[in-house]
Structure 1
Amino acid sequence: MKYFTCSLLVSLLLTTVSFNLFAQEVKPNNQPLFDNFSYRQGNVYRTASGKPGPEYWQNSADYNLEATLDDKTHTVSGNVTIHYTNNSPETLDFIWLYLEQNRFTENSRGTLTTPVQGNRYSGDVKGGFELKNVSAKTKTGTSSKHIITDTRMQLWLDKPLEAKGGKVEIKMDFKFKVPVEGMDRMGRLEVKDGTIYAIAQWYPRVAVFDDVVGWNTDPYLGAGEFYCEYGNYDVKITAPANQTVVCSGVLQNPKEVLTKEQQTRWAQAEKSNKTVYIIKPEEVGKPVASVKSDGMLTWHFKMENTRDVAWAASKAFIWDAARMNLGDGKTGLAQSVYPKESDGNNAWSRSTEFTKASVEFYSKTFFPYPYHNAINVAASVGGMEYPGVSFCHYQSKGEDLWGVTDHEFGHNWFPMIVGSNERRYPWMDEGFNTFINHYSTVAFNNGEFPTTTDSPKNLVRYLMYENRESIDTYPDVANAMNLAYTAYYKPAVGLYLLREYILGGERFDNAFKSYIHTWAYKHPQPNDFFNHMENVAGEDLSWFWKGWFYGNGNIDLGISEVKSYSGNYLITVENDGQIPMPVQLQVIYDDNSKEEISLPVEIWQRGNSWTHLLKTTKQVQRVVLDPNKMLPDVNVLNDTWNKL
């Protein structure tokens, strides 16, 4: 025993001396690039495999809304009743609600954080909600105590709302003036035949209470969009009789608000793959377009399991529609409303065709479209999405109109079906949607319009920009010049690389579709997406999420040397960037034959240089890295080796 102890001590001493002698020669490896970068472990609410856990929960809110449009004062007034259910495991002392119309005031946080020179999210400042008769009724009593802070309201309850099923009924009356400039999300537009009202963020609605941050009370500043609970909506909109009203959801009383001719045309459109007029251009502004010439009409709509509703009204609308074929025998109705200024064969007369094609593609490819209607509204808004309704610019034409229509209706999948938090993680809706838009555009009309997502190298100029920001930058923080890249293009290119370069179509599609189906009508977080993609695809992608989505580094792979070796060749590649990637090489021999070589990303775990043994009896004339030009490599000068 003493001999063993003595020998062990001597060995440890010699080992320690040896480590000390060679310590200065040890170089760090690249393992930190491959390690997890955030807390991605599972729990009872969200599993490590990227699925809702056995105790996952989310609260719900059903809405009864009644609103009246006054086209003389340009105001909307009404009332809301919210039936809110607390499915969480904790009691709630209060409920937080969003009052997003309060963004349109002089002293709102959004106004005060808008640059003096203005930007896309500039808005009117003479608006805001007028609220009355606020109440919250539970089974124990009623409370009207509330605090309004900017675009949020904290509504206190008489007693804490019980966990796992407690219910409260919230009521209030509201009124606001419709802004002309509604931050490119809503507003009103004057055209020859009247005013077009595009109405959104128009009623008080509950904020999301979740297992990640509790109450999500981020203020509505501008660039950050929305995070909403799901529920059922019953909506009644009263407007002057000469107004045509369209809304998310299904019209409940067509016989009361449509003429007999319009009802006939509607029935024809429900069966037609070609566009059918409901209101023809020559009928706009004439008595034939309305059930009655004066007074008011109430339009009644219902929508189930949705996170929001939006609507539009105008006496200037041309209205057309066509059947959508959604698979499994299910059909819906694509519709467009637009003024005469937007009419034309290269303009909005193709809007319903575009809407139909877009929704049908996504429904067939990713997840069945859950709503009956898909309505495209020509407005002053450049492009904004709501469940079943999109606002697109009335002057858009051709390729631009296809692009904005396809993008906005693509949002019905992200974030309307997959309910991510847009206010914090715009890449989970804008980026994902831009990605799927690429494939929809390729498919539409045999590629009638071009797409650039399949050219990642187009992103290099931004990636070299010294003031670039990373994808994880919050939208209200991102520089206005960067937002299009951080929220849209860079995440879309990332998914394209993941599908076309890293995983391949089959593995990616299995994982991506599974993510959509798993998180439909739920609230995924970034880690849920990362975990789910990895588990279904069977690949540790921490290096990719960390480098591309949560980093600001770049890809710079190159060929440093090609030399003969024992009748074969040694090809040495190097990683001079901050993001490791698998390596694709093409070898061209002296007889013009070619060979493809694929090296896994793990070659970079030990360091930034790797030598590959190419066994061949031929003479190598040329070696090309990334021969298909898939990578947004910031330095292409070292991507090719030629024999001297």
Structure 2
Amino acid sequence: MKKFLLLVTLTTNLSLAFAQSNYDAKEAFNPQFYPYPGNDFRSASGEPGPRYWQNRADYKISCNLDTATHRVSGEVEISYTNNSPDNLKFLWLQIDQNIYRKDSRATATTTEAGGRWANGEFTDGQLIRSVTADYNGKKYNAQFTVADTRLQIWLQESLKSSGGKIRLTIPFEFTIPEYGTDRMGRLNTQNGWIYETAQWFPRLCVYDDIQGWNVMPYLGAGEFYLEYGDIEFSITTPADMIVVGSGELLNPQECFSADQLKKYNDAKNSDKTVTIRSASDVSDKKIQTKKSNTWKFKIINARDAAWAASKAFILDAAKINLPGGKRSMAISAYPVESTKDRKGIDWRRSTEMVKASIEHYSEKWFEYPYPAAINVAGIVGGMEYPGIVFCSSSSVGASLWGVTDHEFGHTWFPMIVGSNERKYAWMDEGFNTFINDLSTDAFLNGQFKDKSFMGDPVSPFMVKYTFGEKMDGLYTMPDVMQQDNVGVAAYMKPAQMLHLLRDQILGQDRFDRAFKEYIQRWAFKHPTPWDFFHTMENVAGEDLSWFWRSWVLNTWKLDQSVKEVKYVKNDPAKGAMITLENLEKMPLPVSILIREVNGKEHKMNLPVEIWQRGALYTLNVAVSSEIKEVVLDPEKKLPDWNRDNNKWKKPF
């Protein structure tokens, strides 16, 4: 056995010593990176150009919730503005409820193993019986076609470019599934059902300068790409239910009791959590004097809206202090089952967490734009919509903070910065995971801080997992990724990329200025990956094409090594020559620690440009004695594929 181990060790060392480099400097530093030059619509600096445009969709919706059948029925009036330079003969809308049909594309493409986005049951989808169009004073029944989760409306007269407006009226209805692919659904509690309702009304697809109509079907993993506008909506429910929804509650005096209304108004001015509807209120079986309530909401300049309803809700709230002097409200709605944690770090702490999360991101990046931030406990594990998020009713402690902070972090990506989630999950999930790490560091002095997914120091196991051959790359659509890879390729790896860029390449100040500028430039607009790349490079003052090429466009990995150590004329007093080799395709800067036998140490940071001419780089170091040891990345900050070759030791 010992001989076998020795043979394996020798063979391994020899293979390391004679490893062939896969690195190609001309590929990594190829000068041609951007696929198209800047233009009047999207500047080469990364800013929206002087002729940048995007269309607008405003919605007015009224609907009813039938709790006996779990069915929502209503009507949406859509005011659509065509700001594009093109006349539009037809319009495309998203009708996401069709994902729950048995004959949907999502059902057909669900893997045998099921997974998070599999249908647990089927419904009849979004029932659309008619579409009425009103354009240039002419009202008519428009021809329409349903294609899976898309609705195409043909217009009798083209919608004119550069400001043409049309009004559409569409009645709709659907059944809320119990498990709605972890985006929506209903949870049965001891005090009644909790309805979490989203993707519930027909919404305009984006028409943009990159692709025209963006009509990718909704299959579950890929999320959303939507136009901005104002959304007014009303929900009529049985009178014993509490409803929370995106934006501002317009008629609290009509919906709350006198005592609840007072507490609701008190909460607007309180930094401490105020209970508006308690557990005892939930169990109080007062006879209702009316059969129903209509709850009215409005959210401004948003790309979507969602709501939740239940007679089981405990409701509490506190004020959110925003840096511009404005205020918002942190609100939590949850059942009594979510208050059972023995340590007390359960949903009774939710509002405190919401408040801290929103205040941190508002101060750090961009001010929160909505009048309320609502956290709802229910069947959904974690899902975000403007002004409201759905989180698991069973979350406690660090997991409650983590899911709350993550879902509200999505306010910035992609609710404020409206990137295309159907294509580029790394631009919302990854960016959000990155800012979550900074928020978690700040919350209660890091009470729930955990090691990054790569570890600190970086875990060799996670490097092998993240950069392994079976892992999908960032530039892969989420519906194309293997389901087990989504957590890394969409969330963790892009977050690690940004941490590395911030901490090891640009420095925190340069990175933060550039990242904040990206948010400000593209707030409530539709950036592409290239707009992000342009902005980061122009603001930070750094050509990062080699970096994006490594991390985003390819699945390259890093393997820096110490190839050999020699002395000038074999005399340490004349200096040492240390040859480094980049064995894999990813270039990164090098940190190096050199220890002499006399105890002296040298620490150096070498820029990425040492790899511009090839895989080998020889460093001249003035030493006063023989070198005892050379270590690359001594603090283990980089995702190096093979750390065994990061060290060189003086032979004895």
Q: Give the gaps of 5 or more residues in structure 2.
A: 1-21
Q: 2:494 aligns with which of 491, 494, 518?
A: 491
- The change in CA–CA distance for 1:72 and 1:602 in structure 2 (over 3 A counts) is same
1: CA distance, partners of 2:24 / 2:306: 54
Equivalent residues of 1:287, 1:293 under 8 A apart: no
Structure 2 SS opposite 1:638: helix
Query: In the TM superposition, what are the counterparts of 1:294-443 in structure 2 within 5 Å?
Result: 294-344=290-340, 345-443=344-442
Q: In structure 2, how many angstroms separate the alpha carbons of the residues matched to 1:316 and 1:463?
A: 42
| Residue matched to 1:142 | 139
**Structure 1 523/414 Cα, relative in aligned 2: closer, same or farther at 3 Å?**
same
Q: Secondary structure at the match of 2:644?
A: coil
Counterpart check, 1:467 vs 2:470: yes
Summarize deviations over 1:304-333 as a string: whole Å, max 9, x none.
Answer: 011110000000001111111111222111
Change (3 A) 1:557 1:418: same
TM-score of the two chains, using structure 2 as the length reference = 0.92
Alpha-carbon shift at residue 76 of structure 1 (Å): 0.4
Inter-partner Cα distance in structure 2 for 1:146 and 1:464 = 46
Give the counterpart letter for 2:265 in structure 1.
A
The answer to whether structure 1 residue 613 and structure 2 residue 609 are counterparts is no
> Equivalences for 1:563-582 in 2 at 5 Å?
563-565=566-568, 567-582=574-589
Shift of 1:287: 4.8
Partner residue, 1:133: 130
Distance between the aligned counterparts of 1:127 and 1:561, measured in 2?
A: 68
Aligned position for 1:3: none
Q: Give the deviation of 1:615 after TM superposition.
A: 2.2
Q: Which of 16, 27, 32 matches 1:32?
A: 27
Q: Aligned runs of 1:224-303 on 2, under 5 Å?
A: 224-287=222-285, 292-303=288-299
Q: Deviations over 1:432-472 (max 9, x none)?
A: 00000110011110110123337463431313533111111
1:219 to 208, 217, 232: 217
Counting aligned pairs with the same residue, the percent is: 49
Gaps of 5+ in 1: 1-26
In structure 1, distance between residues paired with 2:366 and 2:291: 43
Instruction: Name the SS of the counterpart of 1:423 in structure 2.
Output: coil
Q: Matched residues in 2 for 1:279 and 1:318: separation?
A: 5
**How many residue pairs align between the two structures?**
616
Partner AA of 1:54 in structure 2: P
Within a 5 Å distance, the mapping from 1:546-585 to structure 2 comes to 546-565=549-568, 567-585=574-592
**Cα distance, 1:283–1:90 mapped onto 2, change above 3 Å:** same
Q: Secondary structure at the match of 1:336?
A: strand
User: Structure 1 pair 537/135, CA: closer, same or farther in 2 (3 Å)?
Assistant: same
Contact 1:127/1:179 (8 A) holds in 2: no
Give the aligned partner of residue 95 of structure 1.
91
Is contact 1:193–1:316 with CA below 8 Å preserved after alignment?
A: yes
Give, in whole Å, the separation in 2 of the partners of 1:390 and 1:126.
24
With over 3 angstroms needed to count, the CA separation of the structure-2 counterparts of 1:182 and 1:293, relative to structure 1, is farther
Alpha-carbon distance in 1 for matches of 2:599, 2:192: 68
Who is 2:512 aligned against? Answer: 509
- CA deviations on 1:503-537 (whole Å, 9 max, x unpaired) are 11111111100000000000000110011111111
Equivalent in the alignment of 1:198: 196
Measure the CA separation in 1 of the matches of 2:245 and 2:598.
Answer: 66
Amino acid at match of 1:138: Y
Question: What CA distance in whole angstroms lies between the structure 1 residues aligned with 2:616 and 2:114?
Answer: 48
Question: 2:523 aligned to 520, 525, 528, which one?
Answer: 520
Question: 1:450-497, CA deviations, whole angstroms, 9 ceiling, x for partnerless residues?
Answer: 233374634313135331111111111100111111110111100111
Query: Aligned partners of 1:28, 1:310: CA distance in 2, in Å?
Result: 49
Indicate how the Cα distance of structure 1 residues 633 and 84 shifts in structure 2: closer, same or farther if over 3 A, else same.
same
1:80 corresponds to which letter in structure 2?
V
Per-residue Cα deviation, 1:593-641 (whole angstroms, up to 9, x for no partner): 4332111111112110100111233543322111221111110001122
Query: What is the CA-CA distance between 1:38 and the residue it aligns to?
Result: 4.5
Residue 360 of structure 1 aligns to a residue whose secondary structure is helix
Counterpart residue number, 2:10: none
Residues 33-90 of structure 1, C-alpha deviations (whole Å, 9 max, x = no match): 1124440421111111111111100000110010111111100000000000000011
Q: Give, as a single letter, the amino acid of the residue that structure 2 aligns with 1:442.
A: D
Matches within 5 A, 1:618-629: 618-629=625-636
Greater Cα offset, 317-326 or 513-522: 317-326
Q: CA deviation at 1:588?
A: 2.7
Moved more, 102-111 or 292-301: 292-301
CA–CA distance in 2 between the matches of 1:47 and 1:328?
29
Q: Which moved more, 1:320-329 or 1:377-386?
A: 320-329
In structure 1, C-alpha distance between the alignment counterparts of 2:118 and 2:550, rounded to whole Å:
33
Cα distance in 2, alignment partners of residues 617 and 399 from structure 1 = 52
Please tell me the residue identity of whatever aligns with 2:438.
Answer: Y
Contact kept, 8 Å, 2:596 with 2:623, in 1: the verdict is: no
Any conservation in 1 of the 2:431–2:495 contact (CA below 8 Å)? yes
> Match of 2:561, SS?
strand
Question: Which letter does structure 2 place at the counterpart of 1:149?
Answer: A
Looking at structure 2, the residues matched to 588 and 454 of structure 1 have their Cα atoms a distance apart, in angstroms, of: 31
Q: Is the 8 A contact 2:324 2:367 kept in 1?
A: no
Question: What residue in structure 1 maps to residue 183 of structure 2?
Answer: 185
> C-alpha displacement at 1:174, in angstroms?
0.5
Indicate how the Cα distance of structure 1 residues 592 and 275 shifts in structure 2: closer, same or farther if over 3 A, else same. Answer: farther
Question: Is the contact between residue 134 and residue 171 of structure 1 (CA under 8 Å) also seen in structure 2?
Answer: yes
CA contact (8 A) 2:23 2:585 kept: no
CA contact (8 A) 2:453 2:492 kept: no
Determine the C-alpha separation between the residues in 2 that align with 1:211 and 1:349: 46
What is the DSSP-based 3-state SS (H/G/I as helix, E as strand, rest coil) of the residue aligned with 1:130?
Answer: coil
Whether the 8 Å contact between 1:470 and 1:549 is mirrored in structure 2 is yes
- Contact 1:438/1:454 (CA < 8 Å) preserved in 2? no
* Contact persistence 2:581–2:617 (CA under 8 A): yes
Q: Distance in 1 between matches of 2:603 and 2:23?
A: 31
Q: After TM superposition, give the deviation of residue 347 of structure 1 in Å.
A: 1.2
Partners of 1:608 and 1:116 lie apart in 2 by: 44
**1:85 aligns to what?**
81
Contact kept in structure 2, 1:103 and 1:128, CA below 8 Å = yes
Aligned to 1:120: 116
Letter in 2 for 1:418: V
Cα offset, 1:564, TM superposition: 2.1
What is aligned with 1:450?
449
Asked whether the 8 Å contact 1:83–1:167 carries over to 2, the reply is: yes
Structure 1 distance, partners of 2:467, 2:41, is: 40
Kindly report the root-mean-square deviation, in angstroms, between the aligned alpha carbons of the 2 structures.
1.6
SS where residue 95 of structure 1 aligns?
strand
The Cα offsets for residues 96-150 of structure 1, whole Å up to 9 and x where unpaired, read as 0001001110111111111233110012322301113311211063341111100
**Matched residue of 1:117: which SS?**
coil
Report the 3-state secondary structure (helix = DSSP H, G, I; strand = E; otherwise coil) of the residue aligned with 1:510. helix
